Amino acid sequence: MTKGQIREYYRRFCRWQQATPHYANRHEGEVQHCHNCDNDFDGNFCPICGQRAEVGRVEWKSIKDNITVLWGLDSRSLTYTLVQLLGRPGYLVRDYISGRRQVSFPPVKMLVLVCLFVVIVESVFHVKNDVVGLKFNLKELDDIVAWINSQKSWATLFLQSFYILPTWLVFRYAPGYPRHTLPEGFFLQVFLSVLSLLTTIFIGYWSDDYDLMLFVIYMYIAYLQLFGYGWWGTLWRLAVIILFVLMTMLVVVLTIEYAYEDTDIYDKLLSILIILAPTVLLAAVILYVTHRINKRTYCNNKDRRRPVFRVLCSGMTS
């Protein structure tokens, strides 16, 4: 294979990644009758009740359709969404949070089904990859870790939720997707939780280190595609987010350890404050500086924003 062919395949792959979804009207020009609300309409779905045009009497095909809907193999196919998530994670998330809901299988339902598949794989092949592989000297912490590892889907989403706030602060004024909100951050982390489980399926049972490395790479690609910063701009912002999350988890673990120590209550509070205060202060300073840099860059970069944003920026800087 020549270099020219490789470049052409790469261009096609990039076009596929950035393509917007297209929906064909299979019944254009045909008058359909809805058996649910007796409405006559033109299109794939009834505008009154939303029932599909093809729905009629119960047939053998109806059994297959109901089973495929249960396992996510209908029009918004689970397998199709997983391929999209692996090949264009940031663009898929942008499509979903910007209002193109039909391009994706429902993300929370997808997380549960993928986790169910992971549990089945572990049961059949007698393999295991814990969400948290740490061991502590404190029984209470070990019990929490054991519970987390027994609830893979919700535990993965819970751990990913630590990224919501720093991602909102760090990418608040991103050129590719400005005005990022906390609810959008929740769905971003749901998609990333699915990616985390997929990396477990592909690599996690053989190597935890490569599993974590692959997931961080996918996080980087998703943030790069979604928020529109350059390679370096995305890298250092992601590093800030990961640093904040690690500091937060460290504070939580140390707080639990000190809370269960057999010492005086005042000594416990003092020990917690000694660790908590400088860590929280450092994290707040890092996030504030990053937030200000993003805000200034967003307002000064006139070539990458529409004229209406100049009014917004003038209000920010005033």
Nearest to 145 by CA among 258, 263, 256: 256
* Residues near 247 by beta carbon (within 8 Å), at least 6 away in sequence: 279, 282, 283
What DSSP element (H or E) covers 41? Answer: strand 40-41
pLDDT for 318: 35
Closest CA to 170 of 279, 295, 306: 295
pLDDT values of the chain reduced to their tens digit, one per residue, 318 residues:
788 888 888 888 888 788 877 666 666 777 888 888 888 888 778 888 878 777 777 777 667 666 666 655 555 678 888 989 999 999 999 999 988 887 788 898 888 888 888 888 878 877 777 766 667 676 777 777 777 777 777 778 888 888 998 898 888 888 888 888 889 999 999 999 999 888 887 776 677 677 888 889 999 999 999 998 889 889 988 988 888 888 887 777 777 776 666 656 556 566 666 666 776 677 777 777 776 777 777 676 644 445 443 433 444 333
Distance of CA 116 to the CA centre of its chain: 18
Show Cβ contacts of residue 269 under 8 Å, excluding neighbours closer than 6 positions: none
Cα angle 223, 245, 279 (rounded to 5 degrees) comes to 140
Report CA-CA distances (Å) from 103 to 72, 92, 151.
Answer: 13, 8, 28
pLDDT of res. 261: 63
